[in-house]
């Protein structure tokens, strides 16, 4: 500022200090945060979309049964027992295939698969990846592992939907159910005979069999098959009044879950397909036919019976050398007399005796629920055939037909049809009478004495409270035009004798004596070690008695009808 002529003059002041406006870093930091937030938002969005995708996939795979299947071609109705236990069931399953051309990262894929399937041979899998275009990594994959596979998101892993027929009881009902082929079509047993119904029915097909009873009988048969070293065995338990079969077992059996072409004849269904000369169990039919023709009464006496008879070039002898020569008709049956049975058969005559056996189903073709049933031979009943058939030789039939015959003999003489398929309406079916009134009572009374008297051959089956009655049969089997040492030991029983409800037959194919088995007496102290004779009385009877002790309580509470 200068003072000039007393005037105040203001000049601009120019300073060497220059003020520069400070840059704000807040903008830069904000941009960086926004960018980072955006990146994380994109990552979150991708991850969320992936989770949603996996979630929707998980919902689809959570229940394998929700998968779409061509029902018309593959579906089969379930089969259940009388108590609704599953015997055969159709379920949906998945096979996992691997398309090698679509593998992106082999090392990563193998590592992931090794975690899911730690027990697999991954050297073999790696070899297949190098040499095959496609192969199945896992068949019938579990739901848990299927979910893990799908979460990998690898397009080389291809799920294929299948329909699977499973048999929860494994071997237990194999000869009844049979098998199916790879196209889900039945090839044997009920799976074959009911094939059309199983494909069309929306409801389960219920059978007459009882899983628990079947299990207990099979368990005892397996046990005694080891004890008596038999090459096979069979059993059938049937209601005498309606023909409902509660159990049907033939050993050896098989697991229908493992589809196999079984060619070994030892796996034949011995109840329905095997035909046997059954020996003295036929003497009951001879006795019954003579009663039915009113030729004899149980007290009719047969005097001076010889110890042997000659028929053509063959000689028929008594099994028991000490059997008396004077016996009543009932005593002939109780003591299993061969000569007395021949005499009764001769009194009936060849035509009437053959007709009787055909009428009760023993020597006539049986109509059954599946195809594995033997064709019944039509025998010419001449003089010798009549004689041998009277005591159970020279004619062959099945265990199924034998059971039907005994059921008719004990149910009052009424026709029945053995069946495995439950029919709720069968109570309204009118029964056809085959035998004269009173014959059943006389037959069952005599059969009871075979079990509960000293002269009888089946004392080991006298289980307390169950009133078992029945007839033993020991038969040498024909081979090459002569009889071999191989035996068929059979016990055909009816119980309870005061109110017949069940026929129960046990057969052992080619059993042997046991040196170690201990026979315990039921009604007195002590017992016996070792099988004295390779006969039905020492083998099949013992098995049947042990079985009834196991299944009796179930039958008494669930299946016995009070008259």
Residue 302 class from Cβ within 10 Å (0-12 exposed, 13-18 middle, 19+ buried)?
buried
249, 166 Cβ separation under 8 angstroms: no
Does the 213-558 domain belong in CATH 3.40.710.10?
yes
Cα–Cα dist 85/173, whole Å: 12
Considering only CA atoms, give the Rg of the chain.
40
Q: Which two tokens stand for residue 491?
A: 């016990």
Instruction: State which fold the 71-206 domain adopts.
Output: Penicillin-binding protein 2a (Domain 2) (3.90.1310)
Pinpoint the alpha helices (H) of 152-188: 174-177
Distances (CA, A) of 112 to 53, 103, 148, 330, 547: 20, 13, 10, 79, 53
DSSP string spanning 510-550? S----SS-EEEPSSSS-EEES-S-SSGGGTHHHHHHHHHHH
Cα–Cα dist 470/541, whole Å: 9
Distances (CA, A) of 277 to 154, 395, 547: 65, 6, 24
Could you read off the pLDDT of 53-77 as tens digits, one per residue?
555 544 444 444 444 445 556 789 9
Q: Which range has the top average pLDDT, 104-113, 280-289, 314-323?
A: 280-289
Residue burial 414-448, b: 16+ Cβ < 10 Å; e: rest: bbbbbbbbeeeeeeeeeeeebbeeebbebbbebbb
Q: Which two tokens stand for residue 297?
A: 């009464």
385, 394 Cβ separation under 8 angstroms: yes
Could you read off the pLDDT of 234-267 as tens digits, one per residue?
999 999 999 999 999 999 999 999 877 778 889 9
401, 362 Cβ separation under 8 angstroms: yes
| Torsion angle defined by CA atoms of residues 29, 31, 35 and 41, in that order, rounded to the nearest 10 degrees | 90
CA atoms within 13 A on the CB side of 421: 14
At residue 42, the pLDDT reads 75
Distances (CA, A) of 383 to 288, 340, 353, 460, 528: 20, 16, 12, 36, 42
457, 493 Cβ separation under 8 angstroms: no
Cα–Cα dist 506/543, whole Å: 8
How many of the other CB atoms lie within 10 Å of CB of 508?
30
**Ramachandran quadrant class, 438 (left: phi over 0; alpha: psi -120 to 50; beta: rest):** left
Cα–Cα dist 171/58, whole Å: 36
Using the predicted structure, report yes or no on whether residue 38 has a pLDDT greater than 80: no
Sheet of strand 245-251, all strands in order from the earlier edge strand to the far edge: 245-251, 232-239, 502-509, 482-495, 469-479
Window from 169-173, 219-223, 256-260, 360-364 with minimum mean pLDDT: 256-260
At residue 73, the pLDDT reads 60
Using the predicted structure, report yes or no on whether residue 206 has a pLDDT greater than 80: yes
Q: Which two tokens stand for residue 294?
A: 């009113």
Angle (CA) 290-292-294 rounded to 5° is 70
Cα–Cα dist 338/331, whole Å: 12
Which phi and psi (to 5°) does residue 387 adopt? Answer: -65, -50
Using the predicted structure, report yes or no on whether residue 406 has a pLDDT greater than 80: yes
Cα–Cα dist 409/411, whole Å: 6
At residue 470, the pLDDT reads 98
At residue 33, the pLDDT reads 65
Identify the bridge partners of residue 399 per DSSP, sorted by sequence position. none
Q: Which two tokens stand for residue 469?
A: 């009655």
At residue 560, the pLDDT reads 81
Query: What is the 8-class DSSP label of residue 65?
Result: G
Average pLDDT over residues 319-339: 94
| Strand 86-99 to 245-251 pairing | unpaired
Q: Which two tokens stand for residue 473?
A: 């049969």
Which phi and psi (to 5°) does residue 493 adopt? Answer: -125, 160
At residue 24, the pLDDT reads 53
152, 64 Cβ separation under 8 angstroms: no
Cα–Cα dist 460/463, whole Å: 8
Q: Is the dihedral of CA 395, 291, 440, 462 positive or negative?
A: negative
pLDDT category, 543, cuts 50, 70, 90?
Answer: very high
Cα–Cα dist 186/179, whole Å: 6
Distances (CA, A) of 222 to 209, 216, 218, 229, 253: 19, 10, 6, 10, 11
Domain ranges (residues) in the chain = 71-206, 213-558
Could you read off the pLDDT of 482-540 as tens digits, one per residue?
888 899 999 999 999 999 999 999 999 999 999 999 999 888 888 899 999 999 999 99
Could you read off the pLDDT of 471-491 as tens digits, one per residue?
999 999 988 878 888 999 999
Q: What is the pTM of this model?
A: 0.82
| Strand 157-166 to 86-99 pairing | antiparallel
pLDDT category, 455, cuts 50, 70, 90?
Answer: very high
């Amino acid at each position: 500022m200068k003072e000039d002529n007393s005037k105040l003059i203001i000049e601009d002041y120019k300073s060497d200090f220059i003020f520069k406006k400070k840059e704000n870093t807040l903008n830069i930091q904000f941009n960086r945060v926004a960018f980072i937030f955006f990146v994380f938002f994109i990552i979150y969005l991708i991850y969320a979309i992936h989770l949603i995708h996996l979630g929707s996939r998980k919902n689809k795979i959570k229940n394998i049964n929700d998968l779409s299947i061509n029902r018309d071609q593959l579906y089969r109705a379930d089969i259940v027992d009388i108590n609704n236990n599953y015997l055969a069931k159709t379920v949906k399953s998945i096979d996992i295939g691997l398309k090698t051309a679509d593998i992106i990262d082999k090392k990563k894929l193998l590592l992931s698969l090794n975690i899911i399937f730690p027990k697999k041979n991954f050297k073999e899998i790696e070899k297949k990846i190098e040499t095959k275009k496609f192969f199945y990594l896992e068949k019938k994959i579990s739901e848990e592992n299927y979910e893990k596979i799908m979460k990998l998101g690898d397009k080389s892993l291809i799920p294929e939907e299948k329909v699977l027929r499973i048999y929860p009881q494994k071997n237990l009902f194999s000869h009844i159910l049979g098998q199916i082929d790879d196209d889900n079509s039945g090839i044997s047993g009920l799976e074959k005979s009911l094939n059309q119904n199983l494909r069309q029915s929306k409801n389960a097909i219920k059978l007459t069999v009882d899983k628990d009873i079947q299990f207990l009988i099979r368990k005892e048969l397996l046990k005694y098959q080891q004890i008596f070293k038999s090459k096979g065995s069979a059993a059938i338990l049937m209601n005498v009044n309606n023909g409902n079969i509660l159990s049907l077992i033939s050993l050896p059996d098989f697991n229908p879950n493992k589809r196999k072409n079984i060619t070994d004849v030892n796996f034949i269904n011995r109840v329905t397909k095997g035909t046997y000369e059954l020996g003295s169990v036929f003497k009951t039919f001879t006795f019954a036919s003579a009663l039915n023709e009113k030729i004899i009464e149980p007290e009719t006496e047969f005097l001076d019976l010889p110890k042997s008879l000659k028929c053509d070039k063959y000689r028929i002898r008594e099994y028991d050398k000490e059997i008396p020569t004077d016996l009543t008709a009932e005593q002939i049956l109780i003591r299993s007399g061969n000569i007395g049975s021949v005499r009764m058969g001769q009194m009936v005559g060849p035509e009437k005796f053959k007709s009787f056996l055909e009428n009760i189903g023993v020597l006539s073709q049986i109509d059954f629920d599946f195809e594995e049933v033997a064709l019944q031979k039509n025998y010419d009943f001449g003089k010798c055939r009549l004689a041998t058939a009277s005591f159970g030789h020279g004619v062959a039939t099945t265990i199924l037909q034998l059971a039907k015959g005994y059921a008719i003999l004990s149910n009052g003489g009424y026709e029945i049809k053995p069946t495995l398929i439950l029919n709720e309406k069968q109570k309204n079916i009118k029964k056809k009478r085959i035998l004269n009134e009173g014959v059943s009572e006389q037959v069952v009374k005599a059969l009871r004495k075979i079990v509960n008297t000293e002269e009888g051959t089946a004392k080991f089956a006298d289980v307390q409270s169950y009133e078992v009655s029945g007839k033993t049969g020991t038969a040498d089997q024909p081979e090459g035009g002569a009889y071999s040492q191989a035996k068929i030991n059979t016990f055909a029983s009816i119980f309870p004798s005061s109110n017949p409800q069940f026929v129960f037959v046990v057969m052992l194919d080619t059993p042997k004596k046991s040196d170690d088995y201990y026979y315990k007496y039921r009604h007195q102290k002590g017992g016996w070690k070792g099988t004295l004779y390779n006969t039905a009385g020492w083998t099949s009877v013992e098995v049947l008695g042990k079985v009834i002790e196991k299944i009796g309580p179930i039958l008494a509470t669930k299946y016995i009808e009070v008259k």
